[in-house]
A = this chain, B = another copy of it.
Amino acid sequence: MITLTGVTDGATAKGEQTRELILTTALRLFREQGYGRTTMRAIANEAGVSVGNAYYYYGSKDHLMQAYYDLLQDQHRAAVEPVLAAGQAFVPRMTGVLLAWLEVAAPYHEFAGTFFKTAADPQSPLSPFSDESRPARDASVEIFRQVVDGSDLKLPADLRSELPELLWLFQMGIVLFWVHDRSDDVRRTRALITRSVPLLDRLLRLTRIPGVRGVTNDVVALIHSIKP
């Protein structure tokens, strides 16, 4: 592999092959037996490499989980396409996107808790708010931008431009709820989504009422003031 400076940066075809082997093995074991019960030794063993080799490519066990999360996002992105192509009404668009995430993430429900455990640590590069995970976050926000842009929502411009990020935050809340949801087939999370999105829709449409507009402006101003 050649960089722009003409200097080799070290990565070889063989190396990339090993990297991928380690990752796919790790992901398989995570899926089969959960994150906590999968040891680095088991991953290395199963992949036919040494423990140290796994650490040569992935700085920690958490970094392997991060890859797991990236995979999830790719799948979500794909699952969401028909929803975004279907119609312009905000409620089905938003509901569809959230329910699609639920479908994609379902096999990993038990393991998801562990993910959020590390995600909540601000010092971890895996935190959804960290700089390191900016690409993944941006990709996720982009989905919500499409939800808004392709919808029939009529909103003040400043609110409209903040909305995708706010919807992403909204999803984070849903996910937090989902992680703790122990009901059959995560029925409660489904109820939360199907009932809260229409509510959100009504709230957003309320912003056109004169008495409410002032509050909306303040909300937008607040968001601007606390952004880093």
Chain A positions near chain B (C-beta within 8 angstroms):
113-114, 116-124, 127, 129, 176-177, 179-180, 183, 188, 191-192, 195-196, 199, 202-203, 206, 209, 211-212, 214-215, 218-219, 221-222, 225-226, 228
Contact = CB atoms under 8 A, between A and B. Distances in A.
Contacts of A122: 113, 116, 179-180
A121 B113 contact: yes
A188 B120 contact: no
Contacts of A215: 199, 202-203, 206
A113 B123 contact: yes
A206 B212 contact: yes
Contacts of A221: 195
B222 A195 contact: yes
B188 A226 contact: yes
B225 A195 contact: yes
B114 A121 contact: yes
A222 B209 contact: no
A121 B127 contact: no
Contacts of A127: 180
A113 B129 CA distance: 13
Contacts of A191: 225-226
Nearest to A172: B176
Nearest to A188: B226
A54 to B, nearest CB: 23
Nearest to A214: B202
Nearest to A212: B206
A196 B220 CA distance: 11
A222 B211 CA distance: 25
A165 to B, nearest CB: 14
A206 B211 contact: yes
Contact of A219 (B113, B123, B199): B199
Contacts of A176: 120
Given A113-B120, A202-B215, A203-B215, 12 more contacts: A113-B121, A116-B120, A117-B117, A117-B121, A119-B120, A122-B180, A127-B180, A188-B226, A195-B225, A196-B222, A202-B214, A206-B215
